[in-house]
Amino acid sequence: MPGKPRPPEIAFRKHDHRRCQRQLLSEATQLCAERKLRLTARRRQVLEALLASHQPMGAYDILAELNQSAGEEHVAPPIVYRALEFLMSEGLIHRIESRNAFISCVQPGHRCGAQFLICRDCEQVAELEGNDDGLLAEADNLGFAVDHSVVEITGVCAECQKHAG
């Protein structure tokens, strides 16, 4: 059951983020069950860290977060990188190249390219769900075999513009 589509600009507005978290976590869990993938405790922790907000997190922020909640057991960087690789390869999270950071996907498992609006004031990121058909069609016309497509648009969101006075 696909979740109700969330308007992408919700990332920039005040909203009940627990609903995003619950819905995305259940979609991710379901997707792993369908694909017979193991969402291990560690992978889940990394995903949950990213689901905490609409702001991207660097690998070291995630590591710090995990080490804070892990108690006795120390989490080493390769463990986080492996979990990130897994989550990316299954389309549960994306990498924001320009920030060298990661963000949870709003449509877990989609196969098309990802497009992001990145607010440089509040640092929230909205993922646009449409696919950039125009660009991809052009690549196709040129006989170019696309294996990865990310569009990152930086600017100021409507909320931050209001507050800028």
Q: Which residues bind Zn ion (CB under 5 A)?
A: 17, 20, 105, 114, 119, 121-122, 157, 160
| Residue of 146, 99, 107 whose CA lies nearest to 4 | 107
Tracing tokens 């600017």 back to the chain, one arrives at 155
We find the least distance from the C-beta atom of residue 107 to Zn ion, in angstroms, to be 5
Single-letter amino acid code for the residue at 153: I
Query: Of 49 and 119, which has the nearer Cβ to Zn ion?
Result: 119
- Residue 97: phi and psi, rounded to 5, are -60, -45
Q: Tell me the residue type at 22.
A: R
In whole angstroms, the minimum distance from the beta carbon of 160 to Zn ion comes to 3
Round to whole Å and give the CA distance between 45 and 62: 9
- As measured in angstroms, the least distance from the Cβ of 110 to Zn ion is 5
Comparing CB distances to Zn ion, the nearer of 75 and 101 is 101
Nearer to Zn ion, 75 or 103 (CB): 103
> Toward Zn ion, which CB reaches closer, 24 or 80?
24
Say if residue 165 is exposed, middle or buried (CB neighbours under 10 Å; 0-12, 13-18, 19+): exposed
Min CB(138)–Zn ion separation in Å: 21
